[in-house]
A and B are shown apart, each in its own frame.
Chain A
C-alpha cells in the first residue's frame, strides 16, 4: 500500500523516474527499504519477547547461558551488519555511484549551462547563443551534459525524475548527466537553502522529440520579434524607459540587464516566477503589479505602475514568442 502510494503520487517524487540513473536509485531504495523493514521488525520482535517473558531471566527456551547471549550480540552487532554493509557498499558506492557520476563530456551530445540566482534559474545553450530561464528543454534519449554553477549563493539543481541533485556553488562548475528516456514535463526545485524565496525556486524540464527540440532552440536563438500591435509597442516603450530594462535582457533591444531572467522569448514559457505561477496574461499582470505579494523578499521590486502601463507591458511581453 505504501509502495503504491509512494510510486503513484507526487510530481517531484524520486520514485517516478524517467532516466536510468534515477531508476537505478529508486530500485536501490526499494531494496534498502526491504532490508530495513526486516531488521527493524526483527529487533522489535526481540523487544516484544523481552516484554512477554519479563519475569524469567535468561534467553527464552535457553536460559541463562551467558555465552549464547554474548554470541547473539556479536552475531547481530558485528557479523550480520558487516555482511549487509559490504553488499550495500558494493552495489551503491562502487557500482551505482559510477552511474550518477558527472559524465565524460566526450560521451555527451550537448551541453546546457544552468546558473542559479536568488531565486530563479538562468539556462544557457550553445555558450549563450540562446538564453532562457526556469524552463530547460532537452531532447529525449540524448546524453546532455548539464553544467551547474551559481551567480550568488549556493543553490542545488534537483529534478528527481531525471537524476540525483548537484550543488551550484559560486566559482565551481559542477556537472551532471541528463538522459531522459521519455518525453514529458518534469518538475524540479532548488534543494539547498538559499534565502527568503528558497521555497519558490522551482524549475521545469521539458523533454521533447529531437525535431521539436531543434525547432524550439532555433527560435530561442533568434532576437525578440518586434511588437506587432500599437499596445505592444507602447508596452515596449514602458519597458525600455522604466526599471525593467536595467534588470532584464531582451535580445534585439537595448534592454541588457542581468539581475533578472532573460525575457527574449518569455511568451514561449509556461510559467513565471521560477515555475511558481502560470504564464497567463492575468498572472503576468498580477506579478508585475505586486511581485512582493507572490514572492515576499524577492529581488523584483514593486514598480508602482498604473493600470494602463501594466496592460501595455503585458501586451508587449505576451508577444515575445
Chain B
C-alpha cells in the first residue's frame, strides 16, 4: 500500500496500533492469539523438529555408508528410522505448511485481520508443541517408537513390543491429531468466511485453494488414524483383540485404517507445496497462471481422489486381483490432475519472462523432482512391478523424491520468498543460489541411486547389509549425497539468520508479488491492513487502481473498523460484506488447556491412570475458564 501516509491517515494508523497493541516479552508470546506470532512459533518449532529429523537421517545414512555398519545397534536403528518418519511427517511438514505458512499467510492473502478462531489457533499450536515434546520424551526415556512410521501390527502389539515405545506413538498421534483437526476447522472457516469483500471463490489465490483442500483432507482423514491408534492402545493396554488374528482380530484392519488416513496424508503433505509453487511462479515470471480455474479444480481433485487409492500401499498383502486393479486404476487417474498442474506451472514459466531468483529456483527444483517422483509413482501403479519393488529401496527413492524433492522444496523456496515480508529485510541472493545448488545436487545424489539399489533387491528398513549383493558402492554414494544435502540446508538457515541482522531493507513488495500480503508493511502490523481491502481479481496487487483506492479510503477514514478488535466477515461464495466480527484479544487459556492435555498423555504412557484423569478434569476446567467472557484489552 501507500508508503507515504498523509498525517490524517497516520492518525487512523496510530489508533489501530493502539487497539491491536500486543503484550511484549515472553508472556506476550505465551498468551498471543495473533496468527502471525502463532505462525512464527510454528515455524521455529517445526524447524527444530526438521533439524532433529535431519540428524536422524544422517545417522541412518552413516550407519549404511558401508556394509555391516556398527554405528547403531539394530535396536537403535529401528528407533531412529521410526522417529525420522514420524518427525518429518507429523512434526515437520504438516506443522510447517499448515501451521507456519498457512497461519501466517492465509489471513494476509485473503485480506483478513486474523484467523476465524484466534484462541483455537493458539490451542492447536500448543497442542502440537506438547505432542512433539511428548513423542521426543520417548528418546529421553530410551524407549522411542520402533515399528516404523506405519507401525504394522502384530509387530507393534504388546506381545512383540512389550515396552512403552509404541505407546508414545499411539498416544502421540492421537494427541497430535487433535491439533491438526482444530487447525483444519479453523482454516476452513477462515477461508470460507473471512475473505476480503469482493474476493469471491473464483478470485481466491491458488495458494488458498490448496490449503482449503488440505484442511478438508485432514479433517476427513484424521479420524481413521485416531481410531486406528485408539484400537492399538486398547489392544495394548486393555487386552482387546482388534488386530489379533489368534482371537478373531485382523492385522490387515490396522493396515486399512492406517492407509485410509495415510494416503490422503501424502496429498496433505504435497498440496501445500503446490500452493506455494502457484504463489511463487507468477511473481517471478511476471504473468498470471495459465488455466487458473483448471489448476484450482485440479488441486481440489487431487485431495478428493487421494481418498480412493489407499490399497496401493497393500498390493502384496494378498487381496484379490479385482480389488487391487480398482485401486491401481484410481492411483493412475490421480496422474491427470497432477499433470495438469505440472504443465500449467511449466507453461507459465515458459511463456512468462522468468527471473530465476532463489525462490523460483527452488520451484524449478521442485518441478524436476516432482516429475521424477511422479514417474516412479506411475511405475508402482503397475501392480506386478509394485509387487516386485514394494518395500524395497525403490519405494524409498520414490517417496523421498516426492516428499523431500517435491513437498519440501517449495517450503525452502517459500522461506526465501516470504522472508522479506516477515522481517523487512532481504536475504542474500548469491548465497541463496549456492544453497539451492547444494541442496539440488545433494538431493539427487542421495535419493536417485536408491532406485537402483531397490531394483537390485535391497529391502527398506535394514539396519545393515552384507557385502557382495551389489549394494555397497551405491549406498556409499547415497550417504555422501546426504552430507552434501545437509550442508545445503544449513546454508539456507544460515543465510536467513544472518540476513535477519544484516540484510538490505526490503520494503513492502520487493518482488512485485500478486497477492494482498505484499500490500501491507514488512513485517505487517498486528491488524494486517489498516483499511480492509476490496478485491476485484485473483491478482489484487496487480490491480493498481484498487490498491490506490484503498490508500484513498485510509485518508478518508473508511473501512478501518477501528472500534475494537474487528474484522469483516463475508459470504461464502461471493464474498459480499456480511457482518463484523469481534476478535478475542490475547488469552492464557489455550496454552493452559494444552498443558493439561499434555499431562493427560504423559500420565497415560506412564500408566498413572488416576493422575491422567485428574489432568483431564483440569483440562475441562480450563475450557470453562476459556468460555468466560473476557474483558477487552
In the bound complex, what is the Cα–Cα distance between A43 and B347 (angstroms)?
10
16 additional A-B pairs beyond A6-B452, A191-B460, A199-B462, beta carbons within 8 Å, are A10-B471, A21-B384, A47-B368, A56-B353, A57-B353, A69-B351, A70-B290, A92-B384, A97-B325, A101-B321, A118-B160, A153-B155, A167-B318, A191-B391, A193-B460, A276-B466
Binary contact readout A30-59 vs B (1 if CB under 8 angstroms, 0 otherwise): 001000100110011011011100111111
A142: CB under 8 A from chain B?
no
Which of B325, B364, B383, B457 is close to A12, meaning CB atoms less than 8 Å apart?
B457
User: Given contacts A21-B384, A154-B251, A191-B459, is CB(A81)–CB(B346) below 8 Å?
Assistant: no
Q: CB distance A98 to B321 under 8 Å?
A: yes
B71: CB under 8 A from chain A?
no
Binary contact readout B441-474 vs A (1 if CB under 8 angstroms, 0 otherwise): 0000000000010011111111111101111000
A78: CB under 8 A from chain B?
yes
In the bound complex, what is the Cα–Cα distance between A129 and B89 (angstroms)?
49
CB-defined contacts of B350 to chain A, threshold 8 Å: 46-47, 49-50, 59, 69
B504: CB under 8 A from chain A?
no
In the bound complex, what is the Cα–Cα distance between A265 and B229 (angstroms)?
45
In the bound complex, what is the Cα–Cα distance between A193 and B317 (angstroms)?
14
Q: List 6 A-B contacts (CB under 8 A).
A: A29-B388, A47-B350, A47-B368, A89-B332, A165-B316, A193-B155
Closest A-chain residue to B252, C-beta based? A169
Q: How many residue pairs, one in A and one in B, have C-beta atoms under 8 Å apart? A: 266
CB-defined contacts of A98 to chain B, threshold 8 Å: 321
User: Given contacts A12-B457, A93-B328, is CB(A88)–CB(B339) below 8 Å?
Assistant: no
User: Given contacts A73-B344, A77-B336, is CB(A14)–CB(B325) below 8 Å?
Assistant: no
CB-defined contacts of A50 to chain B, threshold 8 Å: 346, 349-350, 354
Q: CB distance A32 to B385 under 8 Å?
A: yes
In the bound complex, what is the Cα–Cα distance between A193 and B396 (angstroms)?
13
Which 10 pairs show the lowest CB-CB distances between chains A and B? A12-B457, A171-B245, A92-B382, A164-B387, A199-B462, A10-B470, A174-B318, A77-B340, A10-B456, A191-B459
Q: CB distance B388 to A93 under 8 Å?
A: no
For residue B212, give the distance in angstroms from its CB to the closest CB of chain A: 22
Stretch among B371-379, B488-496, B561-569 lining the A interface: B371-379
Binary contact readout A263-304 vs B (1 if CB under 8 angstroms, 0 otherwise): 000000000000010000000000000000000110000000
Stretch among B73-81, B196-204, B507-515 lining the A interface: B73-81
In the bound complex, what is the Cα–Cα distance between A170 and B247 (angstroms)?
11
B86: CB under 8 A from chain A?
no
Q: CB distance A192 to B457 under 8 Å?
A: no
CB-defined contacts of A77 to chain B, threshold 8 Å: 336, 339-344
A160: CB under 8 A from chain B?
yes
Closest A-chain residue to B372, C-beta based? A40
Q: CB distance B346 to A43 under 8 Å?
A: yes
User: Given contacts A47-B346, A89-B328, is CB(A81)–CB(B385) below 8 Å?
Assistant: no
Which of A58, A172, A191 is close to B390, meaning CB atoms less than 8 Å apart?
A191
Q: CB distance B160 to A57 under 8 Å?
A: no
User: Given contacts A9-B470, A154-B251, A276-B466, is CB(A167)–CB(B316) below 8 Å?
Assistant: yes
Q: CB distance A190 to B459 under 8 Å?
A: yes
Closest A-chain residue to B150, C-beta based? A193
User: Given contacts A12-B469, A32-B382, A199-B74, is CB(A73)–CB(B340) below 8 Å?
Assistant: yes
CB-defined contacts of B354 to chain A, threshold 8 Å: 50-51, 54
Q: CB distance A89 to B329 under 8 Å?
A: yes
User: Given contacts A85-B378, A152-B154, is CB(A97)–CB(B389) below 8 Å?
Assistant: no
A115: CB under 8 A from chain B?
no
B271: CB under 8 A from chain A?
no
CB-defined contacts of A175 to chain B, threshold 8 Å: 318
Q: CB distance B346 to A154 under 8 Å?
A: no
Task: Name the interface residues of B330-364: CB closer than 8 Å to any CB of A.
Answer: 332-333, 335-336, 339-344, 346-347, 349-356, 364
A222: CB under 8 A from chain B?
no
Closest A-chain residue to B375, C-beta based? A36
Closest B-chain residue to A195, C-beta based? B155
Which of B252, B375, B388, B459 is close to A164, meaning CB atoms less than 8 Å apart?
B388
Q: CB distance A29 to B391 under 8 Å?
A: no
CB-defined contacts of A51 to chain B, threshold 8 Å: 354, 356
B291: CB under 8 A from chain A?
yes
For residue A173, give the distance in angstroms from its CB to the closest CB of chain B: 9
Q: CB distance B147 to A193 under 8 Å?
A: yes
In the bound complex, what is the Cα–Cα distance between A128 and B86 (angstroms)?
42
Q: CB distance B336 to A199 under 8 Å?
A: no
Q: CB distance B339 to A29 under 8 Å?
A: no
A124: CB under 8 A from chain B?
no
CB-defined contacts of A166 to chain B, threshold 8 Å: 316, 318, 387
CB-defined contacts of A101 to chain B, threshold 8 Å: 321
B131: CB under 8 A from chain A?
no
Q: CB distance A73 to B375 under 8 Å?
A: no
CB-defined contacts of B155 to chain A, threshold 8 Å: 153-154, 193-195
Q: CB distance B351 to A164 under 8 Å?
A: no
For residue B373, give the distance in angstroms from its CB to the closest CB of chain A: 11
